[in-house]
Amino acid sequence: MKTTQGLPAPEQLTVDWVSTTSAVLSWSQPPGFMLENGKQSQLASTTFTTILPAPDQLTVDSVDTTSAAVSWSQPPGLDQTQHHYQISYHCPGTEQDITTTSSHHITLSDLQCGTQYSVTVCTVLENGKQSQLVSTTLTTVLPVPDQLTVDSVDTTSAAVSWSQPPGLNQTQHHYQISYQCPGTEPHITTTSSPSITLSDLQCGTQYSVTVCTVLENGKQSQLVSTTLTTILPVPDQLTVDSVETTSAAVSWSQPPGLDQNQHHYQISYQCPGTEPHITTTSSHSITLSDLQGGTQYSVTVCTVLENGTKSQLCQQRSPQVRKYPT
């Protein structure tokens, strides 16, 4: 190539645009020259670097309590170029974990449950040159308590327990328990133990109980739930107070736990081979009449709530009704 001394080079050589596989350049024509004889001016020069494409369509495919799977598409223009991907992930206040893969997907493990992570991926050439970062966020699952069980039920209390869910060994947490019967506001309490005794319940009442895991930052897991029904107490100390020819007086004590519950008592009495006679009272005693003289009767009493719920039976076999000579 021959150049002519003093022949000015093109001016303002500029790189206007650069992509992964192409570039646009422009310049100004030097003033006063329209050469057609093949002579060349001095050279004007510049440099540019094509862009290294970032991974495309970074997606969170699945999230578990301590792991997450992410994937991306191979960026365009890298079919003939040796490359891999660098993945960085961290939660607030911690150092970044960095790993690499030649695949288009990776499973991040050893994560903390119930925690938000920022994830970035970039393309890396063999010479170490890196693309811009593409980023996303994900939040690992906070596990629910496992195997929620009703261990025992009494008239005004119930014991429930559960297993610590997996993935919480290194995480400060507690449990929130909510319980309520229909038509009432829920009672809410917390414990760091995997069991609790719920007290001050109403007897003979069904309760719904829910438990969730709670982290120190207040984040809650989904709920696990169960139901229980407290025991309706049976009348206490059923006694035959007196027996006459055709009648008998029986009484009992109010069972514990019924002070705040509207209730009454159902009394059933019969002699062998007959249908039972059934009556009710709100009192703690009753006189059974129209009995047959000289006959043994079996008497049962149960507690009945306003909704029809009945306790188990308290049974008393009375002595024979007295039979006087005519």
* Ordered DSSP codes for 19-50: -SS-EEEEEEPPTT----SS-B---------P
Residue 33: the pLDDT is: 62
Residue 317: the pLDDT is: 64
CB 228 within 8 A of CB 150: yes
CA separation for the pair 227, 149 (Å, rounded): 10
CA separation for the pair 147, 226 (Å, rounded): 10
Q: Please state the pTM of the whole predicted model.
A: 0.67
Domains of the chain and any CATH numbers: 1-51 (no CATH), 56-139 (2.60.40.10), 146-229 (2.60.40.10), 236-317 (2.60.40.10)
pLDDT over 70 (residue 326): no
Neighbours of 200 (CB within 10 A): 7
What φ, ψ does residue 93 adopt, rounded to 5°? 85, 5
CA separation for the pair 295, 255 (Å, rounded): 30
pLDDT over 60 (residue 4): no
What pLDDT band is residue 36 in, cutting at 50, 70 and 90?
low
pLDDT digits 0-9 by tens, 186-198: 999 999 999 999 9
